[in-house]
Amino acid sequence: MEAYFSQIAAVVDRALVAGERHATWFSAEQSDFVRMNRGKVRQPGRVVQRYVDIRLIRGERHATHSLSLTGDLAADTRSIVDAITGLRSALPELAEDPHLLLPSVIASSSTTRGGAMPSADAMVETILGAANGQDLVGLLAAGPVYRGFCNSEGQRNWHATTTFNLQWSLYHRTDKAIKSTYAGFAWDDAELQRRMVSAVERLALISRPPKSLQPGKYRAYLAPGAMEEIASLLCWGGFSGRALATQQSALARLKGEARLDSRVSISEDTAGGVAPAFQAEGFARPSQIALIADGALVGSLVSPRTAREFDLQANGANAYEIPESLTMAGGALPERDALAALDTGLAIGNLHYLNYSDRPACRMTGMTRFATFWVENGRVVAPVDVLRFDDTIYRMLGDKLEALTAERELLLESNTYGSRMLTSVTLPGALLSEMQFTL
């Protein structure tokens, strides 16, 4: 695939005329998808696709054409030449872009992550064997995903990563289910078996009569799956250089005197995630960008346009300035001791439907989902009926944070609308002395 990308780059270069430049983004995948329901395979399939976004630039005018490629170089060459011809005719009609910013240095790179893994058939056989007749519903997505960038100055960037992402639920009845995930670069049958055993054990607990709680404040342990939803909401504008500069970020108060707990450190960790070390305009990404350190805001994600408009330093952020490899430092609490440390309160495995109830205060609301249990003296007593929380990040990761787990979990984005996404978070669990529930 890398050789094919190099051929496409050469085609685009040759199609230019004097005074023109280009910045071209390439994306492709060879993915196996397997949907399972009631413990059986229902929809297996493979997706092979290639796309290219060609931005033609003359002075400060630019336009982009996106097209699907066939893999046949002759046919793709004709499509690319036609696309550039159309862009060339459109440029004179466009206004100059005062915020256009392109790399001033050539920073080529080539990275390959992950390697050989079992076939999708073998992984599914292991999954269903471990489920052992349980009512399992889930989706396995696996295989290589590719990203590339090239420009008329000769810069070439290549990123290939091979991963798997398994998300599944074991159902008891109606809305009673246990959701689990397993994702990474290297498949391990023993680790899948361990996670399945844990899911089956929790499924037995969820069959107990549920406990209804009144609105109020309760001690809570948030598993990494629940923390993922909180982190995902923060990612939408929270760490954006533009949103912080215009006071629209939910974390804007951190620019003042507000602080999170000193144990909270969050960064964009490109070296440890699945995202490429470059973005669509060709700017390189540092291996790590500190965003929050020891509870204080120390950085942001700055796209080229934001850098040009607000006189900031671009640091490889995408156009939306959303983290693609967010990571949060772990703490000192062993995960196996989390329920003992909780003692009495809520063990929350998943959250969903999160949104801001007061963005400037970074107050968010959402619902518990799937495996949420009431714990007494460190032991699960009963599943808990659905609850709605409403609380601020300054409490949950601030003065109400008691501990973070030492172990962290890599969670890959499961969104496959259009294609698999190269986005991940690496998060610990969090023990809170108090979390506020309104329903």
Q: Is 171 helix (H, G, I), strand (E, B) or coil?
A: strand
* pLDDT at site 174: 66
pTM: 0.95
Mean pLDDT of the chain: 96
Nearest in space to 163 (alpha carbons), one of 181, 190, 137, 148: 181
Cβ(331)–Cβ(428) under 8 Å? Answer: yes
305-325 pLDDT tens trace: 999 999 999 999 999 999 999
| H or E, element range at 310 | helix 304-310
> What dihedral do alpha carbons 405, 407, 409, 410 form, nearest 10°?
130
210-221 pLDDT tens trace: 999 999 999 999
Phi then psi for residue 31, to 5 deg, are -110, 140
Structure tokens at 129: 């064997």
Q: Is 411 helix (H, G, I), strand (E, B) or coil?
A: strand
Taken in order 236, 240, 242, 245, is the CA torsion positive or negative?
A: positive
357-403 pLDDT tens trace: 999 999 999 999 888 999 999 999 999 999 999 999 999 999 999 99
277-293 pLDDT tens trace: 999 999 999 999 999 99
* pLDDT at site 207: 86
Residues of the chain with CATH 3.30.2290.10: 2-206
Structure tokens at 41: 């395979």
SS3 content of the chain, % helix, strand, coil (to 5): 25, 40, 35
Q: Which CATH class is domain 2-206?
A: alpha beta
**Average of per-residue pLDDT across 141-147:** 97
Cβ(33)–Cβ(141) under 8 Å? Answer: yes
Banded model confidence at residue 251, pLDDT cuts 50, 70, 90: very high
Q: Any residues with CB less than 8 A from the CB of 261 and at least 6 apart, and which?
A: 295, 397, 398, 399, 401
**Average of per-residue pLDDT across 123-127:** 97
- Cα distance between residue 371 and residue 295, in whole Å: 30
184-200 pLDDT tens trace: 999 999 999 999 999 99
| H or E, element range at 14 | helix 2-15
Question: Among all chains, which residue has been given the structure tokens 């960064």?
Answer: 267
Phi then psi for residue 47, to 5 deg, are -115, 125
**Average of per-residue pLDDT across 24-32:** 98
Kindly list the distances between the CA atom of residue 330 and the CA atoms of 95, 198, 253, 295, 327, in Å, as whole numbers in the listed order.
49, 22, 24, 13, 9
Nearest in space to 171 (alpha carbons), one of 36, 367, 345: 36
Answer yes or no: is pLDDT of 172 > 90.
no
